[in-house]
Amino acid sequence: MTASPTSSSVPASDSEAPVRKPRLGVFKFASCDGCQLSLLDLEDELLAVAGAIDIAYFPEARTAMLPGPYDLSLVEGSISSPEQLEQVQEVRRQSRFLVTIGACATAGGIQALRNWADSAEYLRAVYARPEYIRTLETSTPIAAHVRVDFELRGCPISKEQLLEVITAFAVGRRPNVKDESVCLECKRRGTVCVVVARGMPCLGPVTHAGCGALCPAYDRGCYGCFGPRERANTGSLAGRFREGGAGEPELVRLFRGFTGYAEAFRKESEAHEPQ
Amino acid sequence: MEVEVKAEAKEDARSTVRAIDRDGLERLLGLLREEGYRTIGPTVRDGAIVYDEIESVRDLPAGWKDEQAPGRYRLVRRPDDALFGHVVGPISWKAFLFRPRETLTAAARGEGGALEFRRAPFEPERAAFIGVRSCDLAAIAVQDTVFTGGPYVEPRYAALRRAAFIVAVNCLESGALCFCASMGTGPRARRGFDLALTEIEGRFTVEAGSDAGRRLLERLGAEEARAEDAARVEEGTARCAASMAKRMDPAGLPELLLGNLDHPRWDEVAARCLACANCTMVCPTCFCSTVEETSDLTGSSAGRVRVWGSCFTEEHGKVHGGSYRPEIKDRYRQWLTHKLASWVPQFGTSGCVGCGRCIAWCPVGIDITEEVAAIRASPGPVPDVQGLPLAPVPSPLPAPRAPAASSVEEDLVPRPAAVTAAVRETPDTVTLHVRPPQGFSFRPGQFNMLSLPGVGEVPISISGWDGTAVEHTIRAVGPVTRQLAALRPGQELGMRGPYGSSWPVDEAKGCPAWVVAGGLGLAPLRPLVRELIGRPEDFPEVRLIGGSRTPGDILFVREILGWIGRRNLQTHLTVDRAGPDWRGSIGVVTQLLDDASIEGVYFVCGPEIMMRFAVRRILEAGVPPQRVYVSMERNMKCAAGFCGCCQYGPLFVCKDGPVFRYDSVAYLFERSGF
Amino acid sequence: MSPSEEPSAAKEHKEPKAPVERTYVVDYLTRVEGEGAFYLRVRGRKVEEARLAIFEPPRFFEALLRGRSFAEVPDIVARICGICPVAYQMSSVRAIENAFAMAPAAEVRRLRRLLYCGEWIESHALHVYLLHAPDFLGYESAVEMARDHREAVERGLRMKRTGNELLAVLGGRAIHPVSVRVGGFTKAPALSALWALRADLARGLEEAVETVRWAARLPMPDFRQEYLCVSLSGDEYPLEWGDAIRIGDDAEIPVEDFEKRFKERQRPYSNALQCLLDGRKPYLVGPAARLNHHASKLHPRAAALLGESGLSLPVSNPFESIRVRALELVHAFAEAIDLVDAYRPPERPYAEPAPREATGCGATEAPRGLLFHRYEIGADGLVKEAKIVPPTSQNQARIEADLRKIALDLTALPHDAATRRCEHLIRNYDPCISCATHFLRLEIDRRPDEGDEGGDDGRGGGAGGVAPGEGRP
């Protein structure tokens, strides 16, 4: 998918009429706020971003809420309550280019574990008076409800990738967000493979790159927080882990994590459930 | 197999053999650092032996051995404390020569929008590689050919390579996955090093393989090795070769693999293959790369960064509209056939040096030697070797740029060029007239790389020359082409080129010249048509057959109308659909080829599916394939054969093409997945 | 002054049904993390209702942890909050290690403390400069504030970056770090990587000192409350360690008795649970509670600044929490520097846990206050039951009590100023509704009681007519 510029971003000269700054909206559904916090975590670039684009709607950071439409909307969180079903439609109507940020928005998040559970039972487990709570049976990604123009993966997203998406949008290029395995990042940075050299289960080969291959660099296997990459051959990888001693319940948990509701991982985890 | 080292001639090794102990090795490291080399060698990190900076013999993996199996690698203790008692780990020397990330270009937009492109600052570090195994010497020689073997020379690789000092180590013990002996690349280091060590019972014999090596050996002041030590090197390496359990028979591999592209084994391996790219990352010869555009938020300063890529990624085979290698099977087959088959015509050598890394570091343990053996065990019906492009392809076409100069430095830095005119051809297509840098000349069929800083770079065919400016006809389909198509006179873009082969105009001398274009395919054919109709004495009969979606999509309408009445040109246009006032044909271009002349020379360009049907019809008419030329498109990042993305079987579309004589591509032309 | 004199940006939802009713509605509070609403009804001089309602949709962490391996818990609970993931990781590993009767090695404790310092720095710098300071200086956002106070905002951003870098070196990334495990860390940082931060930490310390002085000069609303403070208690200023919980001035209980004294209750209007002491008493957790209890354990660099901080102990003005956070910034930087200077990479950064069937409790001090976890683990190493009490649930009743008190002062203020004051008051707690915020909608429903002759202009209306989320674009 391709971000497109709000206007010709190759100005011929400075003498041209000033280009209207793109308007940014940041929206939240069910989430931990970590992905939108990544925008504030761009400490070195935050004020430059605020200079180049008009941060029109961002309740976590500013009180004024400028009305839409927004040229670029960053949407965090999954859809998990009846109100959100309507809100997400309105966000879509107000957005020219809608980017979902993070595992909740792109795959339903860790809270999508409820999709395999009895949510009434979940409610009772947490709340003494479940009747006070309004929630949906499922936690689902934004794309299950509205058209999404670009998905930025991660739990949380990488702030460098977030800056890249905003910059690519402003400049009008395709964001450098590669749909390839974590292994490429791992090898480019010279990390020793934890599957081969230590026998650890690692979802890197089937997981979308973008984190910079953090977990193997910290002596642990990837737990898939960027979700499945294209052509994720999860079955072959699961077979390898089974040979390495992983039992079926462990395989279910391995694929059923922060992006467990994404299709490739969902199917793989379900394949290891007791029949 | 002999591997020629091109970047630097290394002399024959067996002049002097000296002997040193560990202190001597320590002194050797010291001398290298004294001469300004960073010393890089094997060291233990994170459960493996990796190449990293070493400051002392103490950093070497004394007493460690690597146990390897498909998809498995473990360090274990040796009974002795040998420093080089291991084989190869996950990192190869390419990490220091063809580095994982390299900034190529820095661009800035100055006052008034003027563009400036600079080669990114590059300081070739002097590095001494300690402990290079024979297989890896061969791998370095392979990459030398890829990056410096011509016609283009990659200056960054060349500089790092020139600055490197190589200390080889002979293998006396084989790893479980080693098969260098069968590939003819080891275990004895024969050439391509400055010094070669053999570790025998805590001492080292040292031989020099170059002047630099000899000088260092003199400074080291080591004693002559005893004759029996020298003999033990030969015996030890021979014993190692004999003990190598794994082997791959390189004989006839190109024919075997290219002749079995539909073998069921590809499906079997695809079911296991993760397409994770680990094999290509650890392979010491794999050289594919991709490019990342970077910029600040306003696009006023930008850069291009080359990063390791892989044919296992979707991006590698991707152009606008889809991927040429969508399935894992396509990707694995691309990798294996390139490595073991296509590599031979491309670079005169196999791409495999038998190091075994791809076997160990495949998370699911796919074994390249087993895959080859499986196909060899049950080859399909005898392949039609006739169509196989197995010898280094002697191009019937003019070589790109000056054919005599076999090595041109290509630093991939564009130059600014100003748009002089922008002509809208159709609602989504524009012809940009661009004033090229001084001294620019091109031949019909070639292309330029056009770029906008921070946005991207794309190959664009040259569609003409207006007397002062070079013309490019661009359809706005992606972010780069959209912005290129929006440029106005006076604005600048980045240009480098021209690249690639051209239409061999003179092949059609005296023959009917048929120009067959589909859609945007007319753009690279227009300069050919102009030349053909401008020389009626040479080309008495030119036929232009053009197909488009609708009359509104026909390119160069005014110019085509102006050609009416040329005595040597007949024009036939057809569209997929049209309104009532369209007087041309409706339907595909194939129908206009029914009377294809057997004496004709055919120049075909358009969408691949259209070319397939058109060529099929032409051949059905009895035209020999040697009289048909096609122009291909593939993903392209560098245009100089470095990035590997545009491979089409054994051919590089960028430097062997884009124009190919049909018989050189016939074998792949009807297939998908390449 | 009658509230009616100040025009409101708020929406009016109903036509007045009685001439004496007025409603003031602010759609939602911003510059906090999470989604909620506040409802305040005042009749004359009587506060009839003060509710902090949290609309953040529930994510059921305690339920979804069941059946997961103990080893996955630190990663999963981190996702409760993107602002303070380390706090969740720290309390969870403490609880699980307690269940397995493991005591972390001294070097693990030091690394955890260092990691936690990174989170305190990141969280406090974020709150002080980007979320809270605009209230004191009259701006709607830090970006707007930066036009007049660029130096201050940049100082805050630099400190925040250093905190984040510290987190990234130890944990791979600032949000949801990957290296925390039961028993220690998956990998210990290289000495060189920590030393590379030394200069930034030293500058951060000086900037934190400057922050204390800057916060001391901020205009401070006059507001006093009697607080029952609750904090973790141990030998050190409480971060990642402490076996007792201090309640008020004199009582201490073991951490495992937390649930005997502190009970959560559910309110019909909120998706978060409220926690009260002995089932009825609101109490305070967080920076002011920590300082009031443990000022003597402050790092000397921070203790030396008490006199300049504008604070006098005990802190009883919640608006002064910004000054306490500034002081804690100094503490966190100073301690981080000491820990970095003393750091030697451990031989192995973790101990291998031996799972067993057991229940364990653990509490640590999140930037916002005490964070209690309890896990019941089965013999198979899977979680049978989980209990998590975040600081914002504990402060929720406290916030409501503060609002009850400030409500009486609000009638003297123009409507906009009154609502801003309420929002400001809530932000004093740095509420994290993702842990317990996002969409904190403030509704003030003021109805004069019978005796109140306060003018009515016919505006106003019933309260609570705004559905959560309404007012979003």
Residues of chain A contacting C161 with CB distance shorter than 8 Å: 43-44
What length is written for chain A? Answer: 275
Q: Does A65 lie at the interface with C, CB-CB under 8 angstroms?
A: yes
Q: What whole-number percentage of chain B has pLDDT above 70? A: 94
Contact residues, C window 374-403, toward A, CB-based 8 Å cutoff: none
Asked whether the beta carbons of residue B275 and residue A181 sit closer than 8 angstroms, the reply is yes
Instruction: Looking at the complex, report in whole angstroms how far the Cα of residue B96 sits from the nearest Cα belonging to chain A.
Output: 11
Q: Both B604 and B467 in a single domain?
A: no
Q: With respect to residue B336, please indicate whether it lies within any of the assigned structural domains.
A: yes
Mean pLDDT value of segment B473-487? 96
In 3D space, the residue among C434, C181, C174, C92 whose CA is nearest the CA of residue A110 turns out to be C434
Contacts of residue B396, defined as CB under 8 A and 6 or more positions apart, other chains included, come to B504, B626, B661, B664
pLDDT tens string B564-619: 888 999 999 999 999 888 888 999 999 999 888 899 999 999 999 999 999 999 99
Q: Both B204 and B338 in a single domain?
A: no
Q: Is the pLDDT of residue B377 over 80?
A: yes
Helix, strand or coil for residue B268? helix
Q: Is the pLDDT of residue A18 over 80?
A: no
Count of pairs with CB atoms under 8 A, one residue in A, one in B: 177
Tokens in use for A59?
Answer: 């309740």
Spell out the alpha helix ranges (H) of B275-324.
278-282
H/E element, B208: strand B203-208
Instruction: Looking at the complex, report in whole angstroms how far the Cα of residue A113 sits from the nearest Cα belonging to chain C.
Output: 6
- The domain that contains B449 carries what CATH number? 2.40.30.10
Mean pLDDT value of segment C330-354? 97
Q: Is residue A155 a contact partner of residue A262, using CB atoms and an 8 Å limit? A: no
Of B208, B243, B278, which one is at a domain's C-terminal end? B243
Residues facing C252 on adjacent strands: C246
Q: Both B307 and B257 in a single domain?
A: yes
pLDDT tens string B619-658: 999 999 999 999 999 999 999 999 999 999 999 999 999 9
User: What total of structural domains would you count in chain B?
Assistant: 4
Give CA–CA dist C463/C458, Å, rounded.
15
Count of pairs with CB atoms under 8 A, one residue in A, one in C: 208
DSSP state of C22: E
Q: Does A245 lie at the interface with B, CB-CB under 8 angstroms?
A: no
Q: Is residue A24 a contact partner of residue A91, using CB atoms and an 8 Å limit? A: no
Q: Is the pLDDT of residue B182 over 50?
A: yes
pLDDT score at A16: 45
Q: Does A239 lie at the interface with B, CB-CB under 8 angstroms?
A: yes
pLDDT tens string B82-135: 999 999 999 999 999 999 999 999 999 887 778 999 999 988 899 999 999 999
Domains observed in chain A: 23-171 (3.40.50.700), 182-271 (no CATH)
Q: Both B484 and B519 in a single domain?
A: no
Determine how β-strand C440-446 pairs with β-strand C36-43. Answer: parallel
Full domain range(s) for residue B331: 253-387
Is the torsion defined by CA of B397, B400, B402, B407 positive or negative? negative
Q: With respect to residue B643, please indicate whether it lies within any of the assigned structural domains.
A: no
Q: Both B576 and B444 in a single domain?
A: no
Q: b or e along B342-358 (b: 16 or more beta carbons within 10 Å of the residue's beta carbon)?
A: bbbbbbbbbbbbbbbbb
pLDDT score at B383: 53
Q: With respect to residue B638, please indicate whether it lies within any of the assigned structural domains.
A: no
How many other CB atoms sit within 10 Å of the CB of residue A75?
Answer: 29
Q: With respect to residue B640, please indicate whether it lies within any of the assigned structural domains.
A: no
Q: What whole-number percentage of chain B has pLDDT above 90? A: 81
Q: Both B272 and B175 in a single domain?
A: no
Q: What mean pLDDT is reported for chain B?
A: 91
Q: With respect to residue B655, please indicate whether it lies within any of the assigned structural domains.
A: no
pLDDT score at B271: 98
Q: Both B129 and B21 in a single domain?
A: yes
Q: Is the pLDDT of residue C45 over 80?
A: no
Q: Both B61 and B77 in a single domain?
A: yes
> Chains touching chain B at 3 or more Cβ pairs under 8 angstroms?
A
* Of the listed ranges A58-67, C371-380, C461-470, the one predicted with least confidence: C461-470
Residue C173: which of A55, A62, A214 has the nearest Cβ? A214
Q: Both B302 and B422 in a single domain?
A: no
Mean pLDDT value of segment A245-259? 97
In 3D space, the residue among C324, C291, C344, C366 whose CA is nearest the CA of residue C115 turns out to be C366
Q: Both B219 and B353 in a single domain?
A: no
Asked whether the beta carbons of residue A214 and residue C141 sit closer than 8 angstroms, the reply is no
Instruction: Looking at the complex, report in whole angstroms how far the Cα of residue C19 sits from the nearest Cα belonging to chain A.
Output: 32
Residue C59: which of A84, A111, A156 has the nearest Cβ? A111
Q: Both B325 and B371 in a single domain?
A: yes
pLDDT score at B14: 44
Of B477, B499, B521, which one is at a domain's C-terminal end? B499
In 3D space, the residue among C385, C339, C354, C344 whose CA is nearest the CA of residue C103 turns out to be C354
Q: Does A258 lie at the interface with C, CB-CB under 8 angstroms?
A: yes
Q: Is the pLDDT of residue C453 over 90?
A: no
Residue of B nearest to A201 (CA): B363
Q: Does B379 lie at the interface with A, CB-CB under 8 angstroms?
A: no
Mean pLDDT value of segment C227-256? 94
- CA distances to B430, B528, B530, B624, B628 from B662, rounded to whole Å, are 30, 18, 23, 9, 5
Contacts of residue B407, defined as CB under 8 A and 6 or more positions apart, other chains included, come to B148, B150, B151, B152, B153
pLDDT score at B109: 86
Q: What mean pLDDT is reported for chain C?
A: 84
Q: Both B91 and B213 in a single domain?
A: yes
Residue B276: which of A183, A192, A219 has the nearest Cβ? A183
pLDDT score at B110: 80
- The domain that contains B577 carries what CATH number? 3.40.50.80
Burial of residue B379, with CB atoms counted within 10 A of its CB: 0-12 exposed, 13-18 middle, 19 or more buried: middle
Asked whether the beta carbons of residue A236 and residue B365 sit closer than 8 angstroms, the reply is no
The pTM score is 0.91
Q: Is the pLDDT of residue B387 over 60?
A: no
pLDDT score at C9: 38
pLDDT score at C442: 32
Contact residues, B window 313-332, toward A, CB-based 8 Å cutoff: 313-315, 327-328
Give CA–CA dist C395/C321, Å, rounded.
13
Q: With respect to residue B218, please indicate whether it lies within any of the assigned structural domains.
A: yes
Give backbone dihedrals phi and psi of A269, rounded to 5 degrees, phi first.
-65, -35
Residue C416 — very low, low, confident or very high, per pLDDT cuts 50/70/90?
A: confident
Residue C28 — very low, low, confident or very high, per pLDDT cuts 50/70/90?
A: low
pLDDT score at C432: 75
- Tell me: cis bond preceding B658? Omega within 30 of 0 counts: yes
Of B448, B472, B499, which one is at a domain's C-terminal end? B499
Tally of CA atoms within 13 A in the half-sphere of B441 that contains its CB:
4
Give CA–CA dist C335/C342, Å, rounded.
11
Instruction: Looking at the complex, report in whole angstroms how far the Cα of residue B101 sits from the nearest Cα belonging to chain A.
Output: 8
Q: Is the pLDDT of residue C23 over 60?
A: no
Give CA–CA dist B130/C265, Å, rounded.
68
pLDDT tens string A120-176: 676 676 666 666 667 788 899 999 999 999 999 999 999 999 999 999 999 999 999
pLDDT tens string B491-511: 999 999 999 999 999 999 999
Residue of A nearest to B322 (CA): A1
Q: With respect to residue B670, please indicate whether it lies within any of the assigned structural domains.
A: no
